Homo-oligomer: A and B are copies of this chain.
């Protein structure tokens, strides 16, 4: 039997295990999917497009917690209310799964409970990487880390589609848009990347970039 404390080498078929029918509404760019503090009635899965989750401080400073791409789950809270706000970064379609249905499933099927556990553990792992990035990496390293992360998660080779604005990148990386922009031009000046358009990045020296973030 599968250990609940182990991620299988081969990814479990999460989608089939958690295949609960749910509406798949479309959201326009920048449209809110749920707000911080609202009752967490559903869990969500990105079908197409991309989603950001974030928190805002009293004075307006924003910290993006995570970007969610096709296939990713989000809004999976242990508490009754959402701790972050979720917005579509581009036009997006999102599957909504009722929490009740999910708990019922988890209560009756061990593999579903393990799938949920695993999603949470994976989120924790990513959040810890985020902490390391924000705590101990320079602006340049953070930008490189984000580009490589996007490449990996969108299964891109050399050519990247950056689905977010400079502001989104900055608020994820704990920087300002100006610093992000300067980091990108500096990478371009050194021949490590090319920027054919604002939202397209070509990784011209992936090895070298990977070495920068170890």
Q: Which residues of A does B touch, CB under 8 Å?
A: 1, 3-7, 43, 55, 57-58, 61-63, 65, 76-80, 83-84, 99, 102-103, 106-107, 110, 113, 116-118, 120-125, 127-128, 130-132, 134-137, 171-174, 214
Contact = CB atoms under 8 A, between A and B. Distances in A.
Contact of A5 (B61, B78, B128, B130): B78
Contacts of A4: 103, 106-107, 113, 116
Copies of this chain in the oligomer: 2
Contacts of A57: 132, 136-137, 214
A21 B99 CA distance: 35
Nearest to A132: B63
Contact of A78 (B63, B77, B118): B118
A61 B124 contact: no
Given A57-B214, A131-B127, A5 B136 contact: no
B83 A128 contact: yes
A54 to B, nearest CB: 9
A62 to B, nearest CB: 7
Given A134-B135, A135-B63, A1 B107 contact: yes
A64 to B, nearest CB: 8
A121 to B, nearest CB: 4
B78 A122 contact: yes
Contacts of A120: 117, 120-121, 124
Contacts of A3: 99, 103, 107
Given A5-B43, A130-B131, A135-B174, 20 more contacts: A4-B106, A4-B107, A4-B113, A5-B76, A5-B103, A6-B79, A6-B103, A7-B79, A55-B132, A58-B214, A63-B136, A78-B118, A78-B122, A79-B125, A117-B117, A120-B120, A120-B121, A127-B128, A134-B135, A135-B173
